[in-house]
Amino acid sequence: MPCLSQGTVAVALSGGVDSLMALSRLLEEGAACLGLHASFLPEDERSRRVRERLQAICRELQVPFHHIDCSRAFSEAIIQPFVRGFAQGLTPNPCSLCNPRIKFGLLLDTAQELGAWFLATGHYARLLRQGASRPALMRGRDAAKEQSYFLALVPPDRLARACFPLGELCKEEVKDAVQRRFGEVPSPEESQEICFVPGNDYRAFLERQPVDLPGPGPMLGTDGTFFGEHEGLHRYTVGQRRGLGIAHSEPLYVLDKDAAGNRLIVGPRRELTGSSCTLEAVNYLLPYREWPRPIWVQCNYRQQPRRAEARQRESGLCLFWHESGMPAVPGQIGAVYSANGQVLAGGIIRGR
C-alpha cells in the first residue's frame, strides 16, 4: 500500500467490520493512522454508543480519534437530491453520490485538515498506482462483495488520495479476522442499502418528505392500452413486476416512467429490454482516447456487466450494448469497465 510511506492515513470508521479491518491492516503494516468517524444523520442513542465504542477501540490502539458531524452536509448533498430525483421520475443512486460528495469530498478534506494525506475506507476495491500517473480503480478480488461500481464517480485527483486495504480480501476472512481481534464490533449488522431510509422502505420515506410527489395517473401499455391507475410514479421502478395490481393474461412489468405525462408504461417481459443509454456528468478515470476495446458497462450494482461500444457526444457518453438486455434506469449509475476490471468512467444515466 503506497500510503504507508507518505504520512498519516485517516481511516473512515463506521463501526462495522470492514472499516475496523481496514484500520487493523494498516496498523499491522506500520502505518501512522488516525480514526475519523462521521455522523451522517442526527445522533441518537444507538449512534452515540457506536461512536463511544469506536473511541474506546482507538484509545486501546493508541490511534487518535476524531468525530465530525456531517448530517447537514449529508442532507443537502445526498438526501435532498434523492427526494428531488424521485419527484422528477428518476431512480437515484445515493450511495454512488455519497462517495465523491461526502466520503472522498468532505471527509477527505477534513482528513487533510487534520494532517492526513490519505483517506482509507473499507471498500472492496483495488487501486493500482504506477509512478506519477493517475491510479487505476479496479474491481475487488471478492466478486460477490466488490464495490468499484459505487466508486465510479470519484474524481481521479480524489482517488489519488484514497486507500482501500480490503481490495485483495474476501468478506468472510474479514469477518473472521475482526471477530478474533475485536470481538463484537460497535455496529455488527450489515449496512442497509440506503443508510438514511428506515427499514429500506423508500416509498414511506419519500412520502414523509416536504416535496410534491406525482400523484395517481394512468398505467398504459406501449400500444396505449389502459390498464388502470398507478399510485404515484415514485412507488415504482423499471423492471418491477409485483405490486402493479393488474389482472392480465401474462405477467406485466414496469417498462418506463413518463414523468412529463405522469404515466407508468407497462408490458410483458419480452418488452422489458434496452440496447443503449446516455451518461451525463461523466467522470473519466482514464481519458476516452486511451480506452482499451472492448468495454463492458454495468448499469446496476446487481446486474452483470455487458459488452458495449461507446461514443462521445455533446449530450454525454452514448453506450450501445452488443446484445439487448434489461433497460438502463434513469438516475442510476453507469460504470464503464475494461475487460480486466479497470473502471474507465462513470456517469449518471439520463436517457436510453
Q: Are residues 262 and 146 in the same domain?
A: no
Return the HEC string of 276-289: EEEEEEEEECCCHH
Cα(89)–Cα(75) distance, integer angstroms: 20
Q: What pLDDT is stored for residue 181 in this prediction?
A: 86
Would you say residue 27 lies in a domain?
A: yes
Q: What pLDDT is stored for residue 249 in this prediction?
A: 87
Which phi and psi (to 5°) does residue 166 adopt? -95, 5
For the record, the C-alpha cell of 237 comes out as 421502478
Q: Which residues of the chain have pLDDT under 50?
A: none
Give the C-alpha distances (Å, rounded to integers) separating 156 from 3, 208, 345. Answer: 16, 37, 10
Please state the pTM of the whole predicted model: 0.93
CATH number of the domain within which 31 lies: 3.40.50.620
Would you say residue 204 lies in a domain?
A: no
CATH number of the domain within which 240 lies: 2.30.30.280
Q: What pLDDT is stored for residue 224 in this prediction?
A: 94
Q: Are residues 178 and 39 in the same domain?
A: yes
Q: Are residues 135 and 10 in the same domain?
A: yes
Range of the domain at 172: 2-198
Angle at the Cα of 20 from the Cα atoms of 19 and 24, rounded to 5 degrees: 120
Closest-CA residue to 279 (of 338, 344, 348): 348
Question: Can you tell me which residue has the cell 444523520?
Answer: 41
Q: How many domains does the chain have?
A: 3
Would you say residue 207 lies in a domain?
A: no
Q: What pLDDT is stored for residue 305 in this prediction?
A: 93
**Where is the domain boundary, 137, 170, 198?**
198
Q: What pLDDT is stored for residue 129 in this prediction?
A: 84
Q: Are residues 165 and 260 in the same domain?
A: no
Would you say residue 130 lies in a domain?
A: yes
Q: Are residues 192 and 224 in the same domain?
A: no
DSSP state of 234: G
Q: What pLDDT is stored for residue 28 in this prediction?
A: 94
Q: Are residues 24 and 111 in the same domain?
A: yes
Catalytic annotation, pick one of 98, 163, 277, 299: 98
Q: Are residues 192 and 155 in the same domain?
A: yes
Question: Can you tell me which residue has the cell 468478506?
Answer: 171
Q: Are residues 136 and 187 in the same domain?
A: yes
**195 tagged catalytic:** yes
**277 tagged catalytic:** no
The number of residues in the chain equals: 352
Q: What pLDDT is stored for residue 7 in this prediction?
A: 78
CATH number of the domain within which 281 lies: 2.40.30.10
Supply the Cα-derived Rg of the chain in whole angstroms. 22
Q: Are residues 117 and 129 in the same domain?
A: yes
Angle at the Cα of 243 from the Cα atoms of 242 and 249, rounded to 5 degrees: 65
Cα(269)–Cα(282) distance, integer angstroms: 31
